[in-house]
């Protein structure tokens, strides 16, 4: 069964460093998303991406964040200058159309 | 801001018992999805309900969408230890590229 994959599973970085989180969505899907989940809190929407552009973003997704689909398979989230409060699980999701979003296993980002 | 409140937050029951988890909002959603999440992993989609009043069954799990599409319930019959996990409801806003708004989660523990 097709699934969303994410790399790395765990990323440790120092405050102020740039990180790139990578996702390979399900191959025929058209809509792509990033969500995050701070430990003990609920899953929060960051950004949605369709037709090679951002379709919606949350207040969390400020100028330090960017997304890219550099080729036909990868979908990346870049944080330019990480802060302690960026420590969280980051989930990529994708969907073909309509309703069901399928989530990847997540990348645990730890900022020290 | 759309909010989804789940109740109860925690539920500890014995194998064989029945339980119901509630997901409530003051907002209308175009559809509602139920996910299950294991520690350190991504949410796994269980079901999507779309029509007001819709009932869907997945083995021992019964999902219902409220008539006004503002609330939903998950009923588990004869719970088993394998049902242990975090259950999340998530509402989808209108628009095909739209984000999911996640509920606060219900952590279920089923003991022998």
Residue of chain A with shortest Cα separation from B91: A99
Residue of chain B with shortest Cα separation from A90: B42
Q: Which of A43, A99, A106 shows the shortest C-beta gap to B88?
A: A43
d(CA B55, CA A52): 36
Cβ within 8 Å, pair B103-A31: no
- Judge whether residue B96 has pLDDT over 60: no
- Give the pLDDT confidence of B17-34 residue by residue, as tens digits: 999 999 999 889 989 999
Strand order in the sheet with B61-65: B5-7, B19-24, B71-76, B61-65, B55-58
- Give the pLDDT confidence of A59-109 residue by residue, as tens digits: 999 999 999 998 878 999 999 999 999 999 999 999 998 778 999 999 999
- Give the pLDDT confidence of A2-61 residue by residue, as tens digits: 899 999 999 999 999 999 999 999 999 999 999 999 998 999 999 999 999 999 999 999
User: Best interface-test mutation with A: which of B100, B101, B104, B105 has the largest number of A CBs within 10 A?
Assistant: B100
């Amino acid at each position: 069964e097709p699934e969303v994959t994410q790399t790395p599973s765990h990323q440790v970085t120092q405050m102020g460093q740039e990180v790139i989180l990578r996702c390979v969505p399900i191959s025929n899907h058209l809509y792509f998303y990033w969500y995050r989940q701070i430990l003990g809190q609920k899953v929060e929407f960051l950004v949605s991406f369709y037709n090679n552009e951002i379709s919606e973003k949350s207040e969390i997704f400020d100028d330090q964040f960017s997304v890219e689909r550099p080729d036909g398979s990868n979908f990346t989230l870049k944080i330019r200058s990480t802060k302690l409060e960026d420590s969280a699980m980051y989930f990529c999701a994708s969907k073909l159309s309509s309703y069901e979003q399928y989530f990847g296993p997540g990348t645990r980002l730890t900022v020290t | 801001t759309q909010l989804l409140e789940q109740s109860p937050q925690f539920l500890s029951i014995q194998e064989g018992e029945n339980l119901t988890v509630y997901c409530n909002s003051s907002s209308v959603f175009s559809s509602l999805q139920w996910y299950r999440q294991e520690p350190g992993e991504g949410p796994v989609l269980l079901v999507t309900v779309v029509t007001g009043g819709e009932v869907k069954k997945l083995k021992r799990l019964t999902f219902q969408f409220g008539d006004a599409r503002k609330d939903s319930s998950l009923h588990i019959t004869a719970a088993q230890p394998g049902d242990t996990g975090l259950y999340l409801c998530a509402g989808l806003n209108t628009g095909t590229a739209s984000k999911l708004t996640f509920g606060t989660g219900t952590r279920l523990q089923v003991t022998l």
